[in-house]
């Protein structure tokens, strides 16, 4: 009985020692996102392969999940601690929308005979579409406001919210009013995606009578709507003396 236990113990030690001296493959990054690319573009990313084990790593073959992807390692034999690179190319021709592809490396790593890493991409049809998908977007929560009736000499105040609902940094380059009776200021002229701000407006009705419309125009780096206008309405009544 003791002899059997000793044999089993020695076998475990031998297997442990063998596993410890085995090659061990590692790929970085394991996942990569090409982001938005125009259909027909070929993009390439260099991944790093490293042998983290204590024996020679032999890359037997590399296979991609579809014919649109090519992967070629610079070296196929790596000594312990040695690294190489593998260039992965993705041809987006005749593809649209979100893509997820895999690359498989077959080697003599006893733990990962088939090692997989992945990449993502979102294919759009043209450059304008790609630009808009990564651009800032100025969203005004009001494009007009009616103060209604008021008496001459009143200073009317209003706050309008705005937001960057796009994917890039929004910059409001200028803000102009149609007359000196209106003043407008921004809480911030630069917003990150998802951030919001306020336009503080003051309308001075002094020396003005009757129905009026005044405008405030914002100029920004929003490529779709670089100029946006807010129209203010008011009916100014003469004060009784």
Sign (positive/negative) of CA torsion 89, 94, 98, 99? Answer: negative
Tell me what the mean pLDDT of segment 37-42 comes to. Answer: 88
Tell me what the mean pLDDT of segment 74-95 comes to. Answer: 93
Backbone angles phi, psi at 44, to 5 degrees: -135, 140
Beta-bridge partners for 116: 104
Domains detected in the chain: 26-133 (2.60.40.10), 135-237 (2.60.40.10)
Q: How far is CA 104 from the centre of its chain?
A: 27
Residue 99 has pLDDT above 80, yes or no: yes
Rounded mean pLDDT of the chain?
88
Token readout for 45 is 């990313």
Residue 18 has pLDDT above 80, yes or no: no
Using CA atoms, how far residue 239 sits from 19, 63, 206, 234, in Å, is 95, 84, 11, 15
Q: What is the pLDDT of residues 43-69, one digit of tens each?
A: 999 999 999 999 999 999 999 988 899
Sorted by sequence, the CB contacts under 8 Å of residue 216 that are 6+ apart come out as 175, 176, 177, 178, 182, 184, 199, 201, 229, 230, 232
**∠ CA(112), CA(84), CA(42), 5° rounding?**
95
Question: Rg of the chain over CA atoms, in angstroms?
Answer: 33
User: What gap in Å lies between CA 90 and CA 170, rounded to an integer?
Assistant: 31
Contact (Cβ atoms closer than 8 angstroms) between residue 176 and residue 215? no
Backbone angles phi, psi at 198, to 5 degrees: -130, 140
Q: What is the pLDDT of residues 103-141, one digit of tens each?
A: 999 999 999 999 999 999 999 887 666 666 678 999 999
Beta pairing class for 31-38 and 114-124: parallel
User: What gap in Å lies between CA 126 and CA 151, rounded to an integer?
Assistant: 54
User: What stretch of H or E contains 128?
Assistant: helix 127-134
Which pLDDT does position 130 carry in this prediction? 64
Which pLDDT does position 1 carry in this prediction? 52
Backbone angles phi, psi at 50, to 5 degrees: -135, 145
């Amino acid at each position: 009985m003791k002899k059997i236990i000793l044999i089993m113990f020695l076998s475990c030690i031998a297997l442990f020692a063998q596993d410890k001296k085995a090659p061990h493959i590692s790929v970085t990054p394991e996942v990569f996102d090409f982001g938005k690319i125009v259909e027909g573009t070929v993009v390439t990313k260099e991944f790093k392969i490293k042998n983290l084990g204590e024996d020679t790593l032999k890359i037997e073959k590399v296979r991609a999940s579809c014919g649109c992807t090519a992967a070629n390692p610079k070296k196929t034999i790596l000594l312990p601690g040695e690294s190489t690179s593998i260039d992965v190319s993705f041809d987006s021709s005749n593809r649209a929308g979100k893509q997820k592809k895999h690359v498989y490396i077959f080697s003599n790593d006893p733990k990962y005979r088939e090692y997989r890493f992945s990449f993502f991409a979102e294919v759009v049809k043209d450059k304008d579409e790609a630009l808009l998908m990564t651009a800032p977007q100025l969203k005004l929560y009001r494009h007009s406001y009616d103060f209604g009736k008021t008496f001459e000499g009143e200073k009317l105040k209003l706050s309008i919210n705005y937001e960057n609902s796009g994917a890039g940094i929004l910059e409001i380059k200028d803000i102009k009013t149609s007359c000196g009776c209106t003043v407008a200021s921004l809480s911030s002229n630069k917003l990150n995606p998802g951030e919001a701000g306020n336009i503080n407006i003051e309308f001075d009705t002094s020396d003005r009578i009757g129905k009026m419309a005044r405008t405030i125009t914002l100029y920004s780096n929003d490529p779709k709507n670089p100029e946006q206008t807010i129209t203010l309405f008011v009916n100014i009544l003469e004060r009784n003396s």
